[in-house]
């Protein structure tokens, strides 16, 4: 991929995003001229870019969008929901094409059809101006259809403006120079100079009576041309017409491949006249060449027929080679298997942050410089105390720089949350429209930063929560009115930084979640017994919606309500080392809170010792550490429990979970780690607490990857190995 | 003088205006085998184009100007080849 093309892909994406944002603004306030202009500018730039790469359908589609906007700007059309829908659809297709282009560098086969459909759709949305529909060329412009293909080649596959300019006979006296006017037609694709009739002899010719007519095609929009011909509006007529792409070669199709040409040549060589000896000598050479061509093309499947024909008569071999030459063309190269869509791995970094990194590296180099000096001192047998002092100082300096360095690197990966907020306005707009619930979206805190990986994980759950809020949270306008609320619901998405983490809140002023209903549902589905359900506090009951398969919605809409979503939200957030909190008041609204660590690279773990080995648990899951005397542990059959803050919490023993031998030591009580497993408090008996550690977790790889219960491994400062546990999989 | 009439050759130079139409037509009628040199022509008034088209004389030196070369010359060649 050329650098220019890469840039095109990158920029087009940005332009499409900008256009989308402007469009949403425009729909909200159709009078906002700044939004029209932004949108127009984005589309116009995009059109120019696509034209640069000769992607006719793309250019055509964007051009149609531009036309529609022009109509809005000139007051010929009104920006309404339908038109916005169409334009958004157009932007979506554009985005999909850009994604495709990034992988295959070509537009999909149906691009032209889709572009035309978009174009027709937009015209229909604009009130179907009679001029220029796809199938019929407007009256007076049949000459466009009659143009020989060679002449309209430049315009093929584009939507252009056709110009029929019949200058008045006496136009020269008005100071007109029609030819000069034609010269000024922007993006001229075709110009035909025609005579009104047969020429009289030169002696009879009146040079001052204009007898010429001009027919032209231009890639410029009609408005621009109307302006150009403003002095002769009565002599010119303009129409927007679509010029079909030439029938045979699509502009983007690969030219007949070199391989095909070479194979044909081989067949021709075989057919050349010559003595028997000559033809016999040619045959092995030709066969070798053909085999090489096929191998180079990766067409190994074609080798057997060639082998079969190789020993046969010469004309059979020629036919075989000719069919091979036609082969891939006829059997339309299988559409390149859609490459797995990878997340974009590029990262835009502030130059300032890069500079900071550079500075730190410089400091590190300086600090390192003291080490050879210390080594020399040691060699000369200096006093051990002084030497130790020197080493400590050097260590201190390097330590502080490495700390800063680590921080700087992490900062490189920090991106603003606005990246995941960007799709929300569109989502809310589309969903609200579909559900018939007017909703006002308030986004705030988009400038809060989080690690790139966290953002990647956050995207989906956030979309889900917003969709859920619209579908289940927000009531219909009638119900809202009945409840004395304003018709337009409010949805807030707010991000902020909290002690060492990022918090994203999604709150609505909708109906709220009825904790009693959640309890009933959970009992009905057998997730809990009636007693267990009754014992839950309302907050705990709300967390039940995070369980797989539990949905409080009675209807399954195409949006949500299938009970597959919330546990996925929880799963994704917890995978990133975060947690979900829910607060809801019936009739007032619901607030979901996603608490995420700032970065995933360094994980803070609480380490514990059990059976001589170290294990770690993410700090975000741990709610407390406590020692319980044996007497405080209640036992019911095999199940043990403790009471923590007036709540009965099940007690598990890490040794048993890991199938380790029982702890035989003499001890007065148990060290218990209190863990929150997605709203389910669990007490975990470990042998001993150790310090907290900040580690870089490495996931299990190879055979170990299949082991359940482990989140990864980390090497501690003293070189010992730590296993980070994924409790949910163990319990 | 945008069109210089030299013996048998009419040399078009720069922007040739409507004022040249009559002289050009007269010159074309008068000269036996006129030679048209449009090499230096940067703009051709419609009236002059008409005269050239009506005369149907071959253009000896085509214009270098892109617009004239690309769009106007084909029109001049067409009738010249087919005969007026």
CATH of the domain at A61: 1.20.120.160
Q: Which residue of B has its CA nearest to A216?
A: B71
Same structural domain for residues A692 and A708?
yes
Q: By residue range, what is the domain housing residue A378?
A: 351-412
Which among A197, A215, A242 is the end of a domain?
A: A242
Query: What is the rounded distance in angstroms from the CA atom of residue A438 to the CA atom of residue A427?
Result: 13
Boundary of a domain, candidates A597, A624, A652: A597
Question: Nearest 5°: CA angle at A383, between A380 and A389?
Answer: 110
Instruction: Specify whether A606 is located in the same domain as A591.
Output: no
Minimal CA separation from A163 to chain B, in Å: 15
Residues A586 and A694 in one domain: no
Partnered with residue A444 across adjacent β-strands are A494
> Which SS3 state, helix, strand or coil, does residue A282 take?
helix
Clarify whether residues A73 and A95 are in a common domain.
yes
Co-location of A549 and A442 in the same domain: yes
Domain shared by A390 and A325, yes or no: no
| Residue B78, pLDDT score | 64
Which of B46, B67, B74, B78 to probe the A interface (max A CBs under 10 A)?
B46
The pLDDT of residue A251 is 40
- A163 vs B contacts (CB less than 8 Å): none
* Chain B residue with the nearest C-alpha to that of A184: B67
One domain for residues A451 and A533: yes
Per DSSP bridges, beta strands A634-636 and A639-644 are antiparallel
Partner-chain contact B47 A172, CB within 8 Å: yes
Residues of A with CB under 8 A from a CB of B: 167, 172, 176-180, 182-183, 188, 191-193, 195, 198-203, 205, 207-208, 210-212
**Domain annotation covers residue A400:** yes
What pLDDT was estimated at residue A686?
A: 92
Report DSSP letters for A168-224, one per residue. -TTGGGGT--HHHHHHT-TTEEEEEEEESSPPPPTTT--TTS--EEEEEEESS-HHH
For A489-499, what is each residue's pLDDT tens digit? 999 999 988 76
Domain count, chain A: 6
Residue A86 C-alpha, separation from nearest chain B C-alpha, in angstroms = 39
Q: Which residue has the higher pLDDT, A727 or A506?
A: A506
* Interacting residues of A432 by C-beta distance below 8 A, sequence separation 6+: A438, A439, A470
Length of chain B: 84
Query: Residues near A186 by Cβ (< 8 Å), separated by ≥ 6?
Result: A218, A219, A220, A224, A225, A228
Residues of B with CB below 8 A from A167's CB? 46
Model confidence at A548, pLDDT cuts 50, 70, 90, reads confident
Is B3 in CB contact (< 8 Å) with chain A? no
**How many CB pairs below 8 Å do chains A and B form together?**
70
A525 and A616 together in one domain:
no
Domain-ending residue, one of A563, A597, A631: A597
Given strand A639-644, what is the order of strands in its sheet?
Answer: A622-629, A669-677, A680-686, A647-653, A639-644, A634-636
Evaluate whether residue A130 is within a structural domain: no
Q: Per DSSP, which regions of A562-702 are E strands?
A: 579-585, 589-597, 602-610, 613-618, 622-629, 634-636, 639-644, 647-653, 669-677, 680-686, 688-696
Tell me phi and psi for residue A267, to 5 degrees.
-65, -40
Q: Is residue A169 part of a domain?
A: yes
Name the residue among A703, A694, A682, A702 with its Cα closest to residue A724: A694
Exposure class string for A342-369: b at 16+ Cβ within 10 A, else e: eeeeeeeeeeeeeebbeebeeebeebee
Q: Answer whether residue A135 is part of any domain.
A: no
User: Do A666 and A630 form a contact (C-beta atoms < 8 A)?
Assistant: no
Q: Which residue of B has its CA nearest to A178?
A: B46
Q: Is there a contact between B47 and A211 if contact means CB atoms under 8 Å apart? A: no
Task: Read off the pLDDT band of A505 (50, 70, 90).
Answer: very high
The nearest CA of chain A is from the CA of B8 a distance in Å of 17
CATH number of the domain bearing residue A582: 3.30.565.10
For A299-358, what is each residue's pLDDT tens digit? 766 777 777 777 777 777 777 777 777 765 443 444 444 444 444 456 667 788 888 888
A196 neighbourhood in chain B, CB within 8 Å: none
Closest Cβ opposite residue B47 in set A192, A202, A207: A207
Q: Which of A203, A205, A212 sits opposite B49 (nearest CB)?
A: A212
- A203 vs B contacts (CB less than 8 Å): 29
State how far residue A150 is from chain B, nearest Cα, in angstroms: 13
Q: Are A16 and A101 in contact (CB under 8 A)?
A: no
Within a domain: A110? yes
Is residue A510 assigned to a domain?
yes
Provide the CATH number for the domain around residue A691: 2.40.50.180
- Give me the sign of the Cα torsion angle A629, A635, A640, A646: negative
With contact defined as beta carbons under 8 Å apart, do A433 and A473 qualify? no
Query: Is the CB of A178 less than 8 angstroms away from the CB of B46?
Result: yes
Question: Is A358 domain-assigned?
Answer: yes
- Distance to chain B for A193, nearest Cα, Å: 6
B53 Cβ under 8 Å from any chain A Cβ: yes
User: In 10 A of CB A326, how many CB atoms?
Assistant: 12
Q: Identify the closest residue of chain A to B84 by CA–CA distance.
A: A199
Q: Which residues in chain A have their CB less than 8 angstroms from residue B43's CB? A: 180, 183
User: Are A180 and B43 a contacting pair at CB < 8 A?
Assistant: yes
Q: Is A560 exposed, middle or buried (0-12, 13-18, 19+ CB in 10 A)?
A: buried
Yes or no, beta carbons of A207 and B43 under 8 Å apart: no
Residue in A179, A192, A207 closest to B25 by CB: A207
Of all residues in chain B, the one with the smallest CA distance to A183 is B67
Its ipTM equals: 0.90
Domain match, A36 and A157 both: no
Which residues lie closer than 8 Å to A438 by C-beta, 6 or more apart? A432, A477, A487, A488, A489
- Cβ-defined contact of A205 to B25 (cutoff 8 Å): yes
- What are the backbone angles phi and psi of residue A54, rounded to the nearest 5°? 55, 60
> Rounded to two decimals, what is the model's pTM?
0.45
Q: Note which residues in 56-75 of chain B have CB less than 8 A from chain A.
A: 56, 67, 70-72, 75
Shared domain check, A576 and A615: no
Q: What percent of chain A stands above pLDDT 70? A: 87
Which residues of chain A lie closer than 8 angstroms to B71, CB-CB?
182, 188, 191, 193
Residues A606 and A724 in one domain: yes
Render pLDDT for A137-151 as a digit per residue (tens, 0 to 9).
566 677 777 777 777
Q: pLDDT of A65-108, one tens digit each?
A: 888 888 887 777 777 778 888 888 889 999 889 888 888 878 88
Residue A424 lies in a domain: no
Could you give the dihedral angle defined by the CA atoms of residues A554, A559, A563 and A565, in that order, rounded to the nearest 10 degrees?
-150
If one counts every other C-beta atom within 10 angstroms of the C-beta of residue A58, the result is: 25
The tokens describing A568, both together, are 């996925």
Same domain assignment for residues A314 and A442: no
Is pLDDT above 90 for A672? Answer: yes
Rounded distance between C-alpha atoms, residue A289 and residue A432, angstroms: 64
H or E element, residue A241:
strand A236-242
CB atoms within 10 A of CB A140: 12
Judge whether residue B57 has pLDDT over 80. Answer: yes
Q: Which of A192, A198, A208 sits opposite B47 (nearest CB)?
A: A208
């Amino acid at each position: 991929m050329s650098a220019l093309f890469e840039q095109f892909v990158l920029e087009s994406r940005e332009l499409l995003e900008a256009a989308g944002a402007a469009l949403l603004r425009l729909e909200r306030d159709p009078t906002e001229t700044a939004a029209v202009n932004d949108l127009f500018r984005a589309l116009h730039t995009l059109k120019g870019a696509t034209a640069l790469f000769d992607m006719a359908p793309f250019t055509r589609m964007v051009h149609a969008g531009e036309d529609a906007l022009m109509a809005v700007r000139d007051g010929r059309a009104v920006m309404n929901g339908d038109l916005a829908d169409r334009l958004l659809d157009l932007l979506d297709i554009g985005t999909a094409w850009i994604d495709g282009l990034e992988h295959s560098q070509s537009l999909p086969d149906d691009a032209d059809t889709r572009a035309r459909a978009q174009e027709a759709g937009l015209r229909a949305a604009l009130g179907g101006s009679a001029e220029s529909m796809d199938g019929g060329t407007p009256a007076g412009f049949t000459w466009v259809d009659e143009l020989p293909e060679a002449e309209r080649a430049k315009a093929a596959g584009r939507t252009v403006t056709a110009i029929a300019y019949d200058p008045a006979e006496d136009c020269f006296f008005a100071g007109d120079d029609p030819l000069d006017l034609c010269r000024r037609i922007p993006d001229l694709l075709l110009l035909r100079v025609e005579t009104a009739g047969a020429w009289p002899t030169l002696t009879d010719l009146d040079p001052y009576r204009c007898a010429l007519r001009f027919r032209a095609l231009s890639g410029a929009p009609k408005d621009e041309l109307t302006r150009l011909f403003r002095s002769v509006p009565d002599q010119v007529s303009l129409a927007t017409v679509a010029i079909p792409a030439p029938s045979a070669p699509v502009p983007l199709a690969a030219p007949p491949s070199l391989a095909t040409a070479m194979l044909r040549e081989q067949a021709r060589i075989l057919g050349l006249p010559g003595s028997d000896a000559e033809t016999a000598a040619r045959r092995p050479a030709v066969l070798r060449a053909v085999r090489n061509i096929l191998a180079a093309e990766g067409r190994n499947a074609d080798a057997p027929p060639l082998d079969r024909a190789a020993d046969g008569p010469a004309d059979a071999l020629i036919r075989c080679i000719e069919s091979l030459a036609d082969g891939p063309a006829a059997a339309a190269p299988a559409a390149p298997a859609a490459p797995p869509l990878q997340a974009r791995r590029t990262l835009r970094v502030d130059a300032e942050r890069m500079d900071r990194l550079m500075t730190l590296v410089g400091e590190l180099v300086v600090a390192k410089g003291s080490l050879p000096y210390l080594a020399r001192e040691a060699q000369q047998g200096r006093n051990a105390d002084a030497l130790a002092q020197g080493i400590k100082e050097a260590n201190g300096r390097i330590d502080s720089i490495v700390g800063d360095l680590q921080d700087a690197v992490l900062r490189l990966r920090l991106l603003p949350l606005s990246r995941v907020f960007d799709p929300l306005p569109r989502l809310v707009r589309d969903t609200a429209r579909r559900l018939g619930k007017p909703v006002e979206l308030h986004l705030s805190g988009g400038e809060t930063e989080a690690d790139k990986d966290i953002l990647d994980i956050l995207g989906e759950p956030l979309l889900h929560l917003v969709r859920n809020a619209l579908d289940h949270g927000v009531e219909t306008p009638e119900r809202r009115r009945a409840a004395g609320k304003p018709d337009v619901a409010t949805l807030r998405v707010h991000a902020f930084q909290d002690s060492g983490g990022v918090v994203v809140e999604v709150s609505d002023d909708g109906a709220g979640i009825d904790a009693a209903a959640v309890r009933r549902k959970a009992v009905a589905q057998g997730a809990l017994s009636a007693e267990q359900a009754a014992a839950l506090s309302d907050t705990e009951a709300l967390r039940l919606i995070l369980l797989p398969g539990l949905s409080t919605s009675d209807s399954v809409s195409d949006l949500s309500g299938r009970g597959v979503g919330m546990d996925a939200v929880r799963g994704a957030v917890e995978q990133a080392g975060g947690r979900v909190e829910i607060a809801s008041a019936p009739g007032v609204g619901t607030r979901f809170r996603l608490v995420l660590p700032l970065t995933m690279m360094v994980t803070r773990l609480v380490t514990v010792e059990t059976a001589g080995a170290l294990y770690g648990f993410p700090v975000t899951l741990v709610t407390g550490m406590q020692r319980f005397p044996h007497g405080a542990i209640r036992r019911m059959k095999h199940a043990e429990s403790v009471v923590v803050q007036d709540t009965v919490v099940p007690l598990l023993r890490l040794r048993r979970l890991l199938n380790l031998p029982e702890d035989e030591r003499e001890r007065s009580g148990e060290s218990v780690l209190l863990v929150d497993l997605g709203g389910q408090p669990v007490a975990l008996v470990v042998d001993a607490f150790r310090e907290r550690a900040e580690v870089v977790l490495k996931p299990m790889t190879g055979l170990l990857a299949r082991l359940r219960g482990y989140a990864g491994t980390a090497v501690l400062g003293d070189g010992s190995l730590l296993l980070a546990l994924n409790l949910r999989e163990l319990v | 003088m945008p069109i210089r009439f030299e013996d048998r050759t009419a040399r078009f130079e720069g922007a040739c205006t409507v004022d040249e139409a009559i002289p050009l037509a007269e010159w074309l009628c008068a000269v036996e085998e006129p030679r048209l040199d449009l090499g230096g022509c940067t703009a051709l008034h419609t009236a002059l184009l008409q005269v050239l088209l009506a005369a149907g004389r071959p253009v000896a030196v085509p214009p270098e100007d892109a617009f004239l070369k690309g769009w106007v010359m084909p029109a001049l060649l067409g009738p010249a080849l087919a005969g007026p």
